[in-house]
Amino acid sequence: MDLEAVIPSSILADASADGPRALFAAGSDGRVWRAWLPEETPITRGRDDSFVQLVAHAIAEASVCAELLSPVVELELCTLTSRLLVSTFERIAVIGDALAAEVSTVCWVGSKPHKGRLTATFGRFFGADAIIAPRPGGRLWVADGSGTVQQPGLAIA
C-alpha cells in the first residue's frame, strides 16, 4: 500500500455498536481504503495517540474498496443504510453497502463533473435516501440514493 497517497486526505471510523466496524481512509490519488476494526477497539474523537496508532495499524492492513481517480475531499457513512458518500474534487460518489463483506459498485451522483471542494451530505429532509450537495453560484441539488438528481438548482436564501 502507498501510505503517502492515503495520509493527506480523509479518515472516517465507523463507531456503531452493532455489526461490523470499519475504518475508511481516502487519499489524494482518489483511492478509498477500508479496514475492519476489532469489536473491542474503542473509537475516540480527536487525534490522541491511541487513535493515531489505531489508524496506522488499520491502514497498514486495509484494502482498496474504490478507485475514483480524483483527490478525495470528504467521507460520510450513513449509519442507517451503510452507504459511504465520497466527495472528490470532481464528482460525488456513493458506495452502496460499504460495510458488506464484498463492497458494492460505485454509483456516481449527477451527470456532470465539478471543480473544487464541493462536498455532499446525506439529508433526510428531502427523503430517506436524499443526498444534498451545494453547487457553484449558491445553489443546492438533491439526488436520490441511485445518484439521480431530483431537484437541481434550489436557490439558497
For the stretch 35-87, pLDDT in tens is 887 766 665 555 556 666 666 666 667 888 889 988 898 898 887 888 899 99
What is the tally of structural domains in the chain? 1
Instruction: Show the domain range for 92.
Output: 3-155
pLDDT above 90 covers a percentage of the chain that reads: 3
Task: With beta carbons less than 8 A apart as the criterion, state whether 46 and 53 touch.
Answer: no
For the four alpha carbons of 8, 57, 14 and 65, in that order, the dihedral sign comes to positive
Reduced to 3 states (helix: H, G, I; strand: E, B; else coil), residue 57 is helix
pLDDT of residue 81: 83
pLDDT of residue 13: 64
CB count, 10 Å around CB of 115?
A: 9
